[in-house]
Amino acid sequence: MFKDFLWWTLGILALVVLGIRIIELLWAKLRLVSAMSVPGDRQGFWKVSQWSWMPTLKRRLIYAPLWKKRHYREIRLSKALNMGTLPSRLHTIILLGYLGSNLAYTFIVNWATLNKYQLCAEIRGRSGTLALVNMVPLIIFAGRNNPLIGMLKISFDTYNLLHRWMGRIVVIETLIHVIVWSIVQVADGGWASVQEKIMNDRFIGSGTVGTFAMVILLVLSVSPLRHAFYETFLTTHIILAFIAFVGTWLHCVATNIAGGLPQLPWIYAIMSIWFAERLARMIRLAYCNWSGRGHSQAFVEAMPGETCRVKIQLPRYVDVKPGQHAYIRFSGVHSWENHPFSIAWVEHTYEEILPVSEKDMTKVEQPISTSVSFVIGAQTGFTRSLYNAANNNDTRSISMRAAFEGPYAGHHSLDSYGHVVLFAGATGITHQISYLKHLIEGYTAGIVATRRITLVWIIRDYESLEWVRPWMDKILRLPGRRDLLQVKLFVTRPKSAREVFSTSSTVQMFPGRPNIPHLLTKEVQEQMGAMCVTVCGPGGLADDVRDAVRKVQDQRQVVDLHCEAFTW
- 101 vs 2: CA distance, rounded Å: 9
- The pLDDT value recorded for residue 373 is 97
Which 8-state DSSP code applies to residue 354?
A: P
- 90 vs 221: CA distance, rounded Å: 23
Q: Answer for the pair 386, 319: CB distance below 8 angstroms, yes or no.
A: no
What pairs with residue 348 in β-bridges? 370
Q: Answer for the pair 477, 556: CB distance below 8 angstroms, yes or no.
A: no
Q: What is the pTM of this model?
A: 0.91
Question: pLDDT per residue over 470-520, tens digit each?
Answer: 999 999 999 999 999 999 999 998 887 777 877 788 899 999 999 999 999
87 preceded by cis ω (within 30°)? no
Q: Answer for the pair 520, 549: CB distance below 8 angstroms, yes or no.
A: yes
Whether residue 74 is predicted with pLDDT greater than 90 in this model: the reply is no
- The pLDDT value recorded for residue 122 is 92
- 203 vs 201: CA distance, rounded Å: 5
Question: pLDDT per residue over 113-163, tens digit each?
Answer: 788 999 999 999 999 999 999 999 999 999 899 888 888 888 899 999 999
**Per-position b or e across 126-138, b if 16+ CB within 10 A of its CB:** bbbbbbbbbbbbb
List the beta strands (DSSP E) in 169-320.
290-291, 294-295, 297-303, 307-314
- The pLDDT value recorded for residue 232 is 85
Mean pLDDT of 413-423: 96
